[in-house]
């Protein structure tokens, strides 16, 4: 769809547009009630068997609904039952009004409410205002290609409500650069003085040779010509890509003196076009899919962080990838199950002569102009295999049909067998990396790519290595300047790399979808998870000591309140220097749904 087509696209019938908007108001209202009840910010009052009510702060509005409370305090709210009653009058469900009504209970103060509403309204608009031309049924999506699935994802993070604020984007920017629109665009390329740049690569990659592979020698010759025409010697510069929004909104403004002094020179645009991914600052090469992803600084606020990238991180990210690759590349178990990682192979960061000396690492003013390259998953597939973001397993289409159900139907195997295969694909390698190598990642849906064969999960590909990995213990060979990935956590919470990051953050919402759509019941699902973990533990007797110290079948574990963290600081939801323990709500313990199944 072209930008003009997107702008003029409208549902054929106004009533249908209204219906879509109401559908997504109800859908996100359900998520508000479910996730904030899960985090215990809300305490629904039972009005009968399976019936609940939540009252507004002023007591004038009541929200009535039916729900099942599943494992992990997972509130499966029945959307069709949701009713909004104000002063005795029933009104249409309005998700924005719901946030306002509940704000004091959610911990949103009067000063913070407008900011949170801006993020929330932007998030709601992704689905509610989506043109019909971009709505694809779950049955069709189950047979779609990698990037069609990618741009159809509108749910965002499964636990966080206001997960697509994109503060800083205009309406035009959304049309041009938002992942759910899927419009292709070109990257801006600049040359920056070599002495101002940090460049790093994995061991077998040369930066300049990689640029030839990514851009072609003809494009690089054109860039050289632009520099010479500006009176500059190409040998004195490094080439690096910039997101077009970042160039206009940040680089041209903040670095205007550097541009005037020719420390930074605009040299052209990428010959290939790119498609934004769910993580928004990562783009996929739509022209030549076998080429690398490019991840670029994008100084908008989105889901609890300003999405810039610093030279401080770029100088070590490929080195961390290189170390992880060396650790796991020849692992026979990972090879046997087909598990792959796609590595960040090169990075470049610009150190501003103005801002770097007056700021500390972590400052947003150090995160204006950087980029990295990550391997494409396309070369890892063979004919007939389908790639899909794992986030797709939580996707519901505009009719409310789950994509995971469509994958299962396409597979032709029983739903329980499909879940078993999926868990071996996802749960097993993530658990193995933690228990064998003491590596904890952030394995939520967007960070995993599934390889499917006619809907059947075959294997998984993990990405976002350098910024997401946490390393426990005393690792050998880790470069000294990569110590930012080291973390010390007590044995009793190391299992959160599975129990919180996998169970609570992803399997919990997946279980609710399977349960409410009568595909696999919640009890049966967690029975399959327990069975899968028992199978994994039995297959690795050499890890018994670690299994004993970091108990996967512990009776309970501490809860991490994702929405609470975002509300505390929407620009830096989590300080990456903080320990994992600091993120846990000390008064909230979740019952482990596999605890009493561990010895069966």
Name the residue with higher pLDDT: 10 or 46: 46
CB 401 within 8 A of CB 138: yes
pLDDT given for residue 597 in this prediction = 77
Q: Which fold has domain 3-135?
A: TATA-Binding Protein (3.30.310)
CATH 1.10.510.40 domain extents, the chain? 383-597
What pLDDT sits at residue 306?
87
**434, pLDDT greater than 50:** yes
pLDDT average, residue stretch 11-21: 61
pLDDT at 577: 59
Distance separating alpha carbons of residues 57 and 37, to the nearest angstrom: 15
Question: What average pLDDT does the segment 217-239 reach?
Answer: 98
The tens digit of pLDDT for each residue in 518-555 reads 999 999 999 999 999 999 999 999 999 999 999 999 99
Mean pLDDT of 595-599: 74
How does DSSP assign 281-321, residue by residue?
SEEEESSSTTSPEEEE----EETTEE----HHHHTTHHHHH
Is the distance from CB of 409 to CB of 325 less than 8 angstroms? no
pLDDT of 348 strictly over 80: yes
Averaged pLDDT for residues 201-219: 97
pLDDT given at position 12: 43
Position 561 scores a pLDDT of 94
> Burial letters for 318-335: b for 16+ Cβ neighbours within 10 Å, e otherwise?
bbbbbbbbebbeebeebe
Q: What distance lies between CA 67 and its chain's CA centroid?
A: 27
Q: State the Cα–Cα distance between residues 553 and 236, nearest whole angstrom.
A: 58
- Residues spanned by CATH 3.30.310.280 within the chain? 3-135
CA 72, 77, 81: angle at the middle one, nearest 5? 160
**Is residue 342's pLDDT more than 90?**
yes
Q: What pLDDT score does 560 carry?
A: 94
Distances (CA, A) of 192 to 226, 236, 264, 356: 13, 8, 4, 15
Helix residue spans in 39-159 (DSSP H): 95-106, 113-128, 138-141, 146-152
381 by Cβ neighbours in 10 Å (0-12 / 13-18 / 19+) ranks as: middle
pLDDT, greater one: 55 or 578: 55
407 touches 452 (CB < 8 A): yes
Q: Are 584 and 519 in contact (CB under 8 A)?
A: no
pLDDT at 600: 46
Distance CA 193, CA 204 (A): 24
Q: Is residue 345 within a helix (H) or strand (E), and if so which, with residue range? A: strand 344-350
Q: For residue 486, give the DSSP letter.
A: B
Burial grade of 554 (CB within 10 A; 0-12, 13-18, 19 or more):
middle
Residue 444 has pLDDT above 90, yes or no: no
* pLDDT for res 304: 72
Check pLDDT > 70 for residue 571. no
In the predicted model, is pLDDT for residue 14 greater than 70?
A: no
- In words, the CATH class of domain 383-597 is mainly alpha
Termini Cα distance of the chain:
53
Over residues 418-443, the mean pLDDT reads: 96
Task: State the average pLDDT for the chain.
Answer: 93
Q: Which residues contact 158 (CB under 8 A, 6 or more apart)?
A: 391, 394, 444, 445, 505, 506, 509
Least confident of 51-65, 164-178, 502-516, 578-592: 578-592
Confidence of residue 18 (pLDDT cuts 50, 70, 90): low
pLDDT, residue 302, reads 87
Judge residue 216's burial from the number of C-beta atoms within 10 Å of its C-beta, 0-12 exposed, 13-18 middle, 19 or more buried.
Answer: middle
């Amino acid at each position: 769809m072209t930008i003009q087509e997107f702008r003029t696209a409208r549902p054929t019938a106004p009533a249908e547009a209204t219906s879509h908007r109401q559908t997504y108001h109800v859908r996100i209202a359900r998520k508000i009630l479910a996730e904030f009840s899960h985090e215990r910010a809300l305490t629904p009052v039972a009005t009968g068997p399976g019936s609940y009510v939540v009252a507004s702060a002023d007591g004038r509005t009541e929200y009535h609904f039916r729900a099942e409370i599943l494992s992990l305090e997972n509130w499966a709210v029945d959307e069709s039952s949701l009713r909004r009653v104000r002063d005795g009058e029933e009104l249409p469900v309005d998700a924005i009004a719901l946030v306002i009504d509940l704000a004091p209970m959610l911990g949103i103060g009067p000063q913070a409410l407008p900011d949170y509403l801006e993020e929330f309204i932007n998030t709601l608009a992704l689905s509610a205002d989506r043109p019909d031309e971009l709505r694809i049924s779950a049955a069709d999506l189950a047979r779609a290609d990698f990037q069609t699935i990618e741009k159809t994802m509108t749910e965002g993070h499964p636990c966080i409500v206001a997960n697509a604020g994109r503060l800083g984007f205009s309406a035009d920017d959304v049309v041009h650069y938002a992942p759910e629109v899927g419009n292709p665009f070109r990257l801006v390329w600049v040359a920056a003085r070599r002495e101002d740049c940090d460049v790093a690569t994995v061991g077998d990659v040369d930066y300049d040779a990689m640029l030839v592979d990514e851009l072609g020698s003809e494009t690089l010759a054109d860039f050289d010509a632009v520099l010479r025409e500006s009176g500059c010697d190409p040998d004195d510069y490094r080439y690096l890509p910039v997101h077009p929004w970042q160039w206009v909104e940040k680089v041209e403004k903040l670095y205007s003196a550097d541009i005037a002094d020719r420390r930074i020179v605009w040299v052209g645009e990428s010959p290939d076009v790119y498609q934004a991914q769910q993580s928004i600052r990562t783009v996929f090469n739509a022209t030549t899919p076998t080429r690398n992803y490019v991840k670029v600084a994008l100084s908008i606020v989105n889901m609890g962080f300003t999405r810039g990238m610093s030279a401080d991180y770029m100088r070590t990210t490929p080195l961390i990838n290189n170390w992880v690759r060396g650790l796991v590349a020849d692992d026979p178990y990972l090879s046997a199950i087909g598990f792959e990682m796609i590595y960040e192979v090169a990075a470049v960061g610009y150190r501003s002569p103005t801002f770097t000396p007056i700021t500390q690492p972590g400052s947003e003013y150090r995160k204006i102009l950087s980029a990295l390259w990550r391997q494409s998953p396309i070369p890892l597939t063979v004919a007939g295999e389908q790639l899909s973001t794992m986030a797709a397993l939580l996707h519901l289409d505009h009719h409310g049909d789950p994509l995971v159900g469509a994958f299962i139907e396409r597979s032709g195997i029983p739903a329980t067998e499909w879940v078993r295969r999926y868990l071996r694909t996802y749960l097993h390698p993530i658990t193995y990396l933690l228990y064998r190598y003491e590596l904890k990642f952030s394995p939520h849906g967007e960070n995993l790519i599934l390889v499917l064969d006619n809907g059947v999960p075959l294997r998984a590909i993990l990405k976002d290595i350098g910024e997401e990995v946490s390393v426990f213990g005393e690792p050998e060979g880790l470069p000294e300047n990569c110590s930012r990935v080291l973390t010390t956590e007590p044995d009793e919470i190391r299992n959160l790399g599975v129990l919180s990051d996998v169970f609570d953050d992803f399997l919990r919402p997946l279980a609710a979808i399977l349960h409410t759509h009568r595909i696999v019941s919640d009890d049966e699902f967690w029975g399959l998870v327990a069975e899968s973990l028992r199978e994994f533990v039995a297959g690795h007797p050499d890890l018994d000591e670690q299994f004993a110290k970091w108990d996967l079948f512990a009776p309970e574990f501490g809860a991490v309140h994702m929405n609470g963290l975002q509300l505390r600081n929407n620009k830096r939801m989590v300080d990456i220097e903080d320990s994992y323990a600091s993120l846990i709500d000390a008064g909230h313990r979740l019952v482990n749904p596999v605890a009493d199944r561990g010895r069966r």
